[in-house]
Amino acid sequence: MLKMTHLSKVYRTEVVETYALRDFNIDVKEGEFVAVTGPSGSGKTTFLTIAGLLETFTGGEYHLDGMEVSQLNDNARSKIRNEKIGFIFQAFNLIPDLNVFDNVEVPLRYRGMKTPERKERIMNALERVGLASRAKHYPAELSGGQQQRVAIARALAGSPRLLLADEPTGNLDTQMARGVLELLEEIHREGATIVMVTHDPELAARAQRNVHIIDGQVVDLAEDPRFHTAYTAAAGQVRG
């Protein structure tokens, strides 16, 4: 589903080159639930933005659903984002001026879908996250957990092949976070491929597989006790 090979991302200024990702390799199979962990600044978010075609990369290869994406133009990348990828952001990223129904509708409108089909998909997605009765509410009228559920409904409505979640429970209290996580697990059980970036090792433990990033590279913690120690310490700071 998602395969990056020797991928690199370099941010260049006049005086310095910074590698956000270096010789980065990952292979996520269809139907997997992968948690991507790592300390702050390790390159987790850069990985997610490249995986979601929000940003381009500097070198290497990236195959998404079997398609090499490095040469795609902006319109083609938009189309893939719209049709194949669902995003769940830490800050929910709902549009405050639109009600729940209209928020879920946003990606479907860009797909040029007819109104009856849009409406059916939106209501199905809202029922799926238990918020069908809140369709006319505005984001400001919902709790954080409910807002994230709306964001998940927005991501699900387009039936994406891949769900990318960036710290989906980062802005939620424990109870709300648990609810959102259970929803993601349920979606995964129904066959969705999910890649979730998180600081939280407890959350990561609920995923099928963990991928750890340090200094822009995927590392195997089980085989490198140095990194394991460093990572555990960092994770402890985050939790503390």
Partner 1 sequence: MQIRPILATLKHHKAGTLLIALQIALTLAIVCNALFIIHQRLAHLSQPTGLDESHLLVIQNQWANKPTKGDISSLLADDLATLRKVPGVANAYATDGYPLSSGGITYGIGHSPDKLNFVSNTAIYFADENALPTLGLKLVAGRNFRSDEIGEIGGRDKIAPQVLIITSELARRLFPGESAVGKMAYVSDKPSIIIGVVERMQTPYVDSAMAQWSDCSTLMPFHQLVTPTNYVVRAQPGQLDDVAKRVRAALYAANRLRVISPEDGVKTFAQVRAQAYKSDRGMAILMASISVILLAITAAGIVGLTSFWVGQRRKQIGVRRALGATRHDILSYFLTENLLIGVGGVLLGGVLALGLNLWLMKQFEMARLAPGYVLAGVVTLLLLGQCAVLAPALRASNVPPVEATRSV
- The owner of tokens 């990223």 is 93
Pick the closer one to partner 1 by CB: 55 or 185.
Answer: 55
Structure tokens at 69: 């994406």
Residues 39-58, interacting with partner 1 (CB under 8 A): 45, 48-49, 52-55
Q: Is 144 in the site for partner 1 (CB under 8 A)?
A: no
Tell me how far apart the alpha carbons of residues 235 and 86 are, in angstroms, rounded to a whole number: 27
Q: Which two tokens stand for residue 240?
A: 């503390």
Q: Collapsing DSSP states into helix, strand and coil, what is residue 109?
A: helix
Q: Give the shortest CB-141-to-partner 1 separation in angstroms.
A: 13
Calpha distance 107→86 (Å, rounded) = 9
> Quick one: which of 12, 16, 66, 75 contacts partner 1 (CB under 8 A)?
75
Q: Which stretch binds partner 1 (CB under 8 A): 2-10, 29-37, 58-66, 74-82?
A: 74-82
- Per DSSP, what are the bridge partners of residue 86? 163
Regarding 111 and contact with partner 1 (CB under 8 A), the answer is yes
Using alpha carbons, select from 196, 124, 182 the residue that is nearest to residue 158.
124
Binding site for partner 1 (CB under 8 A): 45, 48-49, 52-55, 74-75, 78-79, 81-83, 87, 89, 91, 93, 95-99, 102, 105-107, 109-111, 154, 158, 166
